């Protein structure tokens, strides 16, 4: 039997650090449910001391996960960080504290202002304190990619001696060449006494486009855990992408003497969900999960694939969940058919919530000949956005055209249930709608980005608008809205971004 490689998913922590990709607690729980369904071994749920919102997210994910996977909380090598992480993990049945510090010369000298001896002492103290609170402690060696090998072995040895159950080597800046990284991982795997009794993990970044290659090289040289994110989200150019690492291990399991327990048929659904929740679009030519990953436009390729799929496809699209359902939903479909399809998609709702979704489904089905899986996901996302909304867009009327002045009349309900009917004019219908909304909402931001795409198929497709709004403090908030009418989608997206801005502000204040 080959070696089991644990998949440590940090989408909710490191992935969320992508500018504009922040998630509130409810959205993190949506993603966490799918990660559990995907079969990840560890979910890093947040950085508890960083904000009340992150603290709550770790608590909620810990309660949700049960025995299905380890729930990890990130912290610096500081007593107060570690204590806060342990407090947040009190709900988790399988808690893990992840603590550590930089180990490269540039981190020690320029950021931490400590000597190598002080670094070793700090690592030892942090691991010992964390082990006094939980049984599972991961020590991360930040910027191990640029660290001196001898010192890296020394600090890892100290962490193992202090009781670390997992050692994580992080190429935090994605700096290493592949062979250089492999040598560092192998040095730790062969020179640290007792390393055979702990999990050796790698965490790689994509600054040079090598994250997946570095992760696999880590596995080849002794790592038994890989830290990654859905769609490769993360700081700067991102982390190693879970879907790439998992499928590469699946395709080359014999050469790597490795396998994972990931349910690969859930990969595509997970990718789309994370993209929808974060507003981070997956590029069309992205490996495994991109829209063109299994598309063939060249006549030569088409001919080859039609004769034998393996001529130009190294994996079956179905193996990553890229094949759609044959169940056709329309206005003639009843409640039983809809509930069955939702169950197939992994959603379960109480009767009252299901009725609300059914009403939205019927409304959409009256406008479309066929309702696809993407339509259902859109309905569910819209419903979940509305539940936690501070402001809700109830109605929007637009008057525009040449030579008319674009005018918008919006009906908006605030969180205490008061309805506001406002109107405004603008340079275009979207501008008029946004100005009308601004007359009601309590906070405002500058529109930094506006993107439109069809998220379903057909001429009557649902259009989704993604906006990025910059607040006064410089933070970027992503909003999304979906509707058959693209102007309504635009207004929903803007209200969604405003709601996120307010919710983030309240989370910082502990409300």
Same domain, 146 and 198: yes
Domain that holds residue 314: 294-323
Same domain, 110 and 248: yes
Query: pLDDT digits over 330-364, tens only?
Result: 777 777 778 877 776 667 788 888 888 888 888 88
The CATH number of the domain holding residue 223 is 3.20.20.70
Same domain, 347 and 460: no
Into how many domains does the chain fold?
4
Whether 198 is covered by a domain: the verdict is yes
Whether 251 is covered by a domain: the verdict is yes
Same domain, 10 and 94: yes
Sheet hosting strand 476-483, strand order edge to edge: 446-454, 463-470, 476-483
The lowest-confidence range among 192-201, 203-212, 279-288, 476-485 is 476-485
Q: Where are the alpha helices (DSSP H) in 279-393?
A: 299-307, 335-344, 351-365, 373-387
Whether 196 is covered by a domain: the verdict is yes
Residue 299: the pLDDT is 45
Same domain, 265 and 400: no
Taking Cα atoms as reference points, which of 192, 243, 263 lies closest to residue 222? 192
Same domain, 396 and 379: no
Query: pLDDT digits over 63-112, tens only?
Result: 999 999 999 999 999 999 999 999 999 999 999 999 999 999 999 999 99
Residue 217: the pLDDT is 98
Same domain, 25 and 55: yes
Same domain, 380 and 357: yes
CA-to-CA dists, residue 157 to 193, 301, 409, angstroms: 7, 52, 66
Q: What is the mean pLDDT of residues 158-162?
A: 98
Query: pLDDT digits over 241-278, tens only?
Result: 999 999 999 999 999 999 999 999 999 999 999 998 99
Question: Phi and psi for 43 in degrees, rounded to 5?
Answer: -115, 115
pTM: 0.75
Contact 321, 268 (CB under 8 A): yes
Same domain, 121 and 154: yes
Same domain, 339 and 306: no
Cα 149 from chain centre:
32
The DSSP 8-state label assigned to residue 329 in this structure reads B
Same domain, 481 and 357: no
Q: What is the mean pLDDT of residues 12-38?
A: 90
């Amino acid at each position: 039997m080959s070696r089991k490689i644990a998949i440590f998913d940090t989408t909710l922590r490191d992935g969320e650090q992508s500018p504009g990709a922040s998630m509130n607690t409810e959205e993190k729980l949506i993603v966490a449910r799918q990660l559990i369904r995907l079969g990840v071994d560890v979910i890093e749920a947040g950085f508890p001391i960083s904000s009340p919102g992150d603290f709550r997210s770790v608590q909620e994910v810990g309660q949700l996960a049960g025995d299905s996977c380890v729930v990890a909380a990130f912290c610096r090598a500081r007593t107060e960080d570690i204590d806060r992480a342990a407090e947040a993990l009190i709900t988790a049945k399988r808690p893990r504290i992840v603590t550590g510090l930089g180990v490269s010369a540039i981190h020690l000298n320029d950021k931490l202002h400590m000597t190598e001896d002080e670094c070793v002492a700090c690592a030892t103290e942090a691991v010992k304190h964390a082990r006094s609170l939980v049984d599972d402690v991961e020590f991360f060696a930040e910027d191990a990619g640029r660290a001196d090998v001898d010192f890296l072995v020394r600090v890892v040895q100290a962490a193992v001696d202090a009781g670390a159950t997992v050692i994580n080597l992080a190429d935090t800046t994605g700096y290493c060449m592949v062979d250089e990284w492999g040598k560092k991982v192998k040095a730790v795997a062969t020179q640290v006494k007792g390393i055979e009794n702990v999990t050796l993990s790698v965490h790689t970044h994509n600054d040079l486009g090598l994250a997946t290659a570095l992760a696999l090289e880590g596995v080849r040289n002794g790592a038994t855990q890989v830290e990654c994110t859905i769609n490769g989200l993360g700081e700067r150019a991102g982390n190693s992408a879970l879907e790439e690492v998992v499928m590469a291990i699946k395709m080359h399991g014999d050469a790597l003497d490795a396998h994972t327990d990931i349910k690969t048929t859930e990969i595509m659904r997970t990718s789309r969900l994370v993209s929808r929740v974060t507003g981070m679009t997956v590029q069309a030519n992205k490996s495994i999960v991109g829209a063109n990953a299994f598309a063939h436009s060249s006549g030569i390729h088409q001919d080859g694939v039609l004769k034998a799929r393996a001529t130009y496809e190294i994996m079956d699209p179905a193996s990553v969940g890229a094949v759609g359902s044959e169940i056709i939903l329309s206005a003639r479909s009843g409640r039983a058919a809809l509930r069955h399809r939702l169950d197939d998609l992994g959603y379960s709702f109480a009767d009252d919530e299901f009725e609300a979704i059914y009403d939205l489904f019927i409304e959409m089905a009256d406008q479309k000949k066929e309702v696809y899986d993407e339509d259902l996901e859109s309905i569910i996302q819209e419903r979940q956005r509305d539940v936690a909304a501070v402001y809700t867009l109830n109605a929007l009327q637009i008057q525009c055209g040449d030579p008319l002045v674009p005018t918008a009349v919006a009906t908006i309900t605030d969180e205490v249930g008061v309805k506001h009917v406002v109107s405004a004019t603008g340079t275009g219908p979207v501008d008029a709608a946004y100005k009308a909304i601004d007359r009601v909402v309590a906070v405002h931001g500058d529109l930094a980005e506006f993107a439109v795409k069809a998220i379903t198929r057909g001429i009557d497709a649902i259009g989704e608008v993604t906006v990025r709004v910059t607040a006064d403090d410089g933070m970027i908030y992503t909003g999304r809205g979906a509707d058959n009418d693209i102007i309504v989608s635009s207004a929903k997206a803007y209200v969604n971004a405003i709601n996120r801005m307010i919710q983030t502000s309240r989370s910082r204040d502990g409300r």
